[in-house]
């Protein structure tokens, strides 16, 4: 699967949990704006991806619908993130998100949503493990 139609990026995603439809701007992203919603549910294990082809496995922490009938649009959550946070992680401009209803890509029949991700803690190697790795490299020279 290539991320673009012109076959400019020649990479394949390895098998694993399902990929989200939209890329994130960085792998530490906590939020993602999905303009056409998602059938995925809270608690599911998914992979976020960047246009460079890098992926990271995360859990869906929350999924909030967006109400575009008011100005500015509201994320329907108890303590919603700011549009600036969502825009930064989604790789979009905040004005684009705030005026999504006015773009030709807006579809009122498929409601937009914002997802919050819970990143899986990856254990960092200890100093002793790093030292062992360095000694193994030196030994194999």
For all residues of the chain together, what is the average pLDDT? Answer: 87
Is 46 contained in some domain? yes
Number of domains in the chain: 1
Is 111 contained in some domain? yes
Is 5 contained in some domain? no
Give the residue carrying structure tokens 């012109």. Answer: 6
pLDDT in tens, 9-62: 556 777 888 888 889 999 999 999 999 988 889 999 999 998 888 889 999 999
Determine the structural domain holding residue 83 and report its residue range.
31-139
What is the structure's pLDDT at 63?
94
- Main-chain phi, psi angles of 59, to 5 degrees: -105, 145
């Amino acid at each position: 699967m290539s991320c673009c139609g012109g076959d400019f990026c020649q990479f394949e995603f390895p098998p694993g949990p399902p990929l989200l439809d939209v890329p994130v701007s960085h792998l530490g992203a906590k939020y993602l704006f999905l303009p056409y919603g998602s059938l995925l549910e809270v608690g599911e294990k998914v992979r976020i991806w960047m246009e460079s082809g890098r992926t990271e496995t995360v859990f869906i922490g929350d999924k909030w619908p967006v109400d575009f009938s008011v100005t500015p649009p509201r994320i329907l959550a108890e303590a919603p993130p700011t549009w600036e946070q969502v825009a930064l992680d989604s790789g979009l401009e905040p004005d684009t998100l705030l005026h999504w209803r006015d773009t030709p890509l807006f579809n009122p029949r498929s409601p937009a949503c914002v997802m919050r991700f819970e990143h899986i803690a990856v254990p960092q190697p200890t100093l002793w493990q790093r030292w062992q790795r360095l000694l193994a490299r030196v030994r194999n020279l």
